[in-house]
C-alpha cells in the first residue's frame, strides 16, 4: 500500500471495529492501482455522520449535508462520506437530494467512471463492480451504467471524461463518446466555476492536446463560457499543436496559454476573462502577459521590466508556443540583467526628494518618480543618490 493509505488504515479499522463498513474510494484507489502518486485519501462508510462523530474525538463538519465529516488524526484530515445515492437530477447539475444508504454497491453506482468506482478495504482487497480493472487495462474512460443517463444526470461528467482522458492519456470508450456527442449542449447548464476546474486539469494533463481535439469533435466548445471573440477553430488547432509537446504546470500558465495567446483585442480579452469568472490574480496576469506575448519579438527593456515579476510564467508560455530557443535565451539574459526589479529597489524615494527640497507633494512627484524609474531601467541613470538627485533637479 502507498504510505498515505498505510497511514489512514487505522481510521478504517476503527470504523470497522465500531461495526460499520469503511473503504478507501475514488481517485486514491485508481491512482494506487496505476502506481501514481495520490493527493487526497477519500473514505466512504456505511456509518452516518453522527455515528462517525461518535467514533472519533476530533471531527469537523465539512459537508455534513452531503454526508461528509472530516476526521483529524496525526495532523492529517480525512474526509469520510456516508454511502449515498443521488436521486432525480432535474436540472442536470446537482442531485435534488442525497440519500444515505448502508450499501457500498449503491454508493459506487453513483460514481462517474468505472476507474473512479473502485473501493479498497482495510485488508487491501480491491472491490471492482464495473470492471474498472478491465478499463484500466484497455486504457479507457467508461461511464458507470448507461452513459446517456449519467451525462443527463450531471453534464459536468462530460468535462470530467475529457479531463481524466487527458490526465491518464486514456481514450474514451465508444458508447461514452457517443453520449458525449449527443448530450454536449447540456454543458450550458453547468456553472462556469465547475467547468473551469475541470478544464484547468484537462489542459494540465499529459494528453491535453488529444482531449482538446476531442472536445471540439464532440461539440462541447460552443457551450463553453466566453469565446465570443475567439477565432475558435484556428486558435484551438494551434493550441492543440503546442500542447502536444508540453503542458502548462500552473494555473497562471494554463490561462495565459489559453486566453493570452489568442490575439484578442483588449476588450475581447476582458470579456473572456470575466466570462470564465477567473480570479483577480489570473485576470491581471493574463492581461499583462498577453501584451508581452504579442510583442515577444520586439520587447524593450521597459517591457521586460514590467513583466519581470511574471517572468517564469511568461517564459514557460512562450516556450510552449514554440518560440525560438535563441529568443528565449536572449529574453532570459535581459531579464537577469535588469538594473532594478521594482520601484522599491530605487535608492531614493519620494519622501527624500521632498525633504531635500527638490520636489513638492502632488501629481508632479509621481510623474518625476516614474521618469526616474524609466531612466534607471533603460540604463540612462545609475541607481545612486547623487545621480538621482542631479536627475531630479534637472527635471
Ligand atoms: P483527482 O485525483 O483529480 O482528485 P478524483 O477521482 O479524486 O481525481 P474528484 O473530483 O476528487 O476526482 O472526485 C472524487 C470521486 O468522487 C471520483 O473519483 C468519483 O468517484 C466521484 N465523483 C466526483 N465527481 C463526480 C460526479 N460529478 N459524478 C459522479 N461521481 C463523481
Ligand atoms: Mg480527489
CATH number of 354's domain: 1.10.246.80
Closest alpha carbon to 124 in 238, 239, 6: 6
Q: Indicate whether 215 belongs to any domain.
A: no
Mean pLDDT of the chain: 94
Is 40 known as a binding-site position?
Answer: yes
pLDDT digits (tens, 9 = 90+) for 293-313: 999 999 999 999 999 999 999
Contact 91, 189 (CB under 8 A): yes
Q: Indicate whether 108 belongs to any domain.
A: yes
Q: Cα separation of 118 and 311, whole Å?
A: 42
Nearest CA to ligand 1 atom 9: 27
Q: How crowded is residue 230: how many other Cβ atoms within 10 Å of its Cβ? A: 20
| Mutation test residue for ligand 1: of 24, 25, 27, 144, the one with most atoms within 8 Å of CB | 27
Is 73 known as a binding-site position?
Answer: no
Phi, psi of 26 (to 5 degrees): 75, -150
pLDDT digits (tens, 9 = 90+) for 197-237: 999 999 999 999 999 999 999 999 889 998 754 545 678 89
Q: Does ligand 1 come within 6 angstroms of the Cβ of 248?
A: no
Which numbered ligand comes closest to the C-alpha of 30? Answer: 1
Closest alpha carbon to 184 in 160, 149, 159: 159
Nearest CA to ligand 1 atom 5: 27
Q: Does ligand 1 come within 6 angstroms of the Cβ of 112?
A: yes
Contact 154, 144 (CB under 8 A): no
Which whole-number Å values give the CA distances from 283 to 256, 269, 327, 387, in the listed order?
9, 9, 26, 38
**Per-residue confidence (pLDDT) for residue 93, from 0 to 100:** 58
Name residues whose C-beta falls within 8 Å of residue 223's C-beta, 6 or more positions apart in sequence.
Answer: 184, 185, 186, 187, 188
Phi, psi of 304 (to 5 degrees): -65, -40
Our measurement of the distance from residue 222's CA atom to the centroid of its chain's CA atoms, rounded to an integer in Å, reads 21
Q: Indicate whether 94 belongs to any domain.
A: yes
Q: Indicate whether 54 belongs to any domain.
A: yes
**Per-residue confidence (pLDDT) for residue 214, from 0 to 100:** 96
State how beta strands 171-172 and 140-141 pair.
parallel
DSSP tag of 125: P
Q: Indicate whether 290 belongs to any domain.
A: no
Q: How crowded is residue 134: how many other Cβ atoms within 10 Å of its Cβ? A: 13
ipTM value greater than 0.95: yes
pLDDT digits (tens, 9 = 90+) for 26-80: 999 999 999 999 989 999 999 999 999 999 999 999 998 889 999 999 889 999 9
Q: Cα of 195 to ligand 1 centre, how many Å?
A: 14
Our measurement of the distance from residue 173's CA atom to the centroid of its chain's CA atoms, rounded to an integer in Å, reads 25
Q: Cα separation of 161 and 165, whole Å?
A: 6
Closest alpha carbon to 113 in 26, 184, 31, 181: 26
Nearest CA to ligand 1 atom 4: 27
Q: How crowded is residue 283: how many other Cβ atoms within 10 Å of its Cβ? A: 19
Is 123 known as a binding-site position?
Answer: no
Query: Grid coordinates in use for 373?
Result: 524609474
Q: Cα of 108 to ligand 1 centre, how many Å?
A: 11
Q: Indicate whether 284 belongs to any domain.
A: no
CATH number of 49's domain: 3.30.460.10
Domain boundary among 94, 114, 138: 138
Residue 289 has pLDDT above 60, yes or no: yes
Closest alpha carbon to 126 in 201, 23, 51: 23
**Per-residue confidence (pLDDT) for residue 231, from 0 to 100:** 47
Sign of the alpha-carbon dihedral angle for 265, 270, 273, 278: positive
How many folded domains does the chain comprise? 2
Domain boundary among 90, 110, 138: 138
Q: Cα separation of 51 and 49, whole Å?
A: 5
Predicted confidence band of residue 177 (pLDDT cuts 50, 70, 90): very high
Is 30 known as a binding-site position?
Answer: yes
Domain boundary among 91, 107, 138: 138
Contact 71, 11 (CB under 8 A): yes
Q: Does ligand 1 come within 6 angstroms of the Cβ of 27?
A: yes
Q: Indicate whether 264 belongs to any domain.
A: no
- Tell me whether residue 324 is exposed, middle or buried, using C-beta atoms within 10 angstroms of its C-beta: 0 to 12, 13 to 18, 19 or more: exposed
Extract long-range pairs of 382-391: CB within 8 Å, 24+ residues apart: 383/339, 383/340, 383/345, 383/346, 383/347, 384/347, 385/347, 385/348, 388/346, 388/347, 388/348, 389/348, 389/353, 389/356, 389/358
Q: Indicate whether 299 belongs to any domain.
A: no
CA triple 53-58-59, angle to 5 deg? 50
State how beta strands 76-82 and 84-87 pair.
unpaired
Query: Grid coordinates in use for 351?
Result: 519622501
Ligand 1 atom with the shortest distance to the CA of 153? 28
Work out the average pLDDT over 174-199. 97
pLDDT digits (tens, 9 = 90+) for 71-125: 999 889 999 999 998 765 556 556 667 888 889 999 999 999 999 999 999 999 9
Q: Does ligand 1 come within 6 angstroms of the Cβ of 111?
A: yes
Q: 389: domain range? A: 344-394
Q: Does ligand 1 come within 6 angstroms of the Cβ of 26?
A: yes
Predicted confidence band of residue 262 (pLDDT cuts 50, 70, 90): confident
pLDDT digits (tens, 9 = 90+) for 309-366: 999 999 999 999 999 999 999 999 999 999 999 999 999 999 999 999 999 999 899 9
Q: Cα separation of 299 and 307, whole Å?
A: 11
Q: Does ligand 1 come within 6 angstroms of the Cβ of 116?
A: yes
Nearest CA to ligand 1 atom 17: 26
Q: Cα separation of 292 and 282, whole Å?
A: 15
Amino acid at each position: 500500500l502507498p504510505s498515505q493509505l498505510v497511514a489512514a488504515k487505522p481510521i478504517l479499522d476503527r470504523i470497522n471495529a465500531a461495526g460499520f463498513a469503511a473503504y478507501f474510494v475514488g481517485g486514491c484507489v485508481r491512482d494506487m492501482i496505476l502506481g501514481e502518486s495520490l493527493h487526497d485519501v477519500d473514505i466512504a462508510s456505511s456509518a452516518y455522520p453522527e455515528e462517525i462523530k461518535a467514533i472519533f474525538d476530533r471531527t469537523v463538519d465539512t459537508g455534513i449535508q452531503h454526508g461528509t465529516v472530516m476526521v483529524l488524526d496525526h495532523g492529517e484530515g480525512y474526509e469520510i462520506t456516508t454511502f449515498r445515492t443521488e436521486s432525480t437530477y432535474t436540472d442536470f447539475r446537482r442531485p435534488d437530494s442525497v440519500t444515505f444508504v448502508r450499501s457500498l454497491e449503491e454508493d459506487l453506482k453513483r460514481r462517474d467512471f468505472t476507474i473512479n468506482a473502485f473501493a479498497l478495504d482495510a485488508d487491501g482487497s480491491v472491490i471492482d463492480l464495473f470492471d474498472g480493472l478491465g478499463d484500466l487495462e484497455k486504457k479507457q474512460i467508461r461511464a458507470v451504467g448507461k452513459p446517456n443517463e449519467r451525462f443527463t444526470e450531471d453534464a459536468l461528467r462530460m468535462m470530467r471524461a475529457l479531463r481524466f482522458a487527458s490526465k491518464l492519456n486514456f481514450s474514451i470508450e465508444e458508447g461514452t463518446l457517443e453520449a458525449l456527442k449527443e448530450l454536449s449542449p447540456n454543458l450550458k447548464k453547468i456553472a462556469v466555476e465547475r467547468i473551469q476546474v475541470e478544464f484547468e486539469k484537462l489542459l494540465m494533463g499529459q494528453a491535453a492536446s488529444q482531449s482538446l481535439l476531442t472536445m471540439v469533435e464532440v461539440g462541447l466548445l460552443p457551450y463553453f463560457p466566453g469565446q465570443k471573440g475567439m477565432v475558435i477553430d484556428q486558435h484551438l488547432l494551434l493550441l492543440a499543436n503546442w500542447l502536444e509537446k508540453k503542458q502548462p504546470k500552473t494555473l497562471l500558465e494554463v490561462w495565459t496559454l489559453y486566453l493570452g495567446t489568442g490575439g484578442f483585442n483588449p476588450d475581447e480579452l476582458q470579456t473572456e476573462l470575466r466570462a470564465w469568472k477567473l480570479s483577480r490574480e489570473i485576470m491581471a496576469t493574463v492581461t499583462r502577459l498577453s501584451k508581452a506575448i504579442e510583442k515577444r519579438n520586439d520587447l524593450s527593456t521597459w517591457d521586460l521590466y514590467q513583466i519581470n515579476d511574471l517572468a517564469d510564467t511568461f517564459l514557460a508560455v512562450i516556450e510552449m508556443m514554440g518560440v525560438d530557443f535563441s529568443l528565449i535565451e536572449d529574453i532570459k539574459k535581459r531579464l537577469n540583467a535588469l538594473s532594478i526589479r521594482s520601484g522599491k529597489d530605487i535608492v531614493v524615494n519620494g519622501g527624500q526628494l521632498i525633504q531635500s527640497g527638490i520636489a513638492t507633494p502632488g501629481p508632479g512627484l509621481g510623474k518625476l518618480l516614474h521618469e526616474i524609474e524609466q531612466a534607471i531601467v533603460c540604463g540612462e541613470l545609475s541607481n545612486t543618490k547623487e545621480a538621482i538627485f542631479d536627475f531630479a533637479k534637472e527635471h
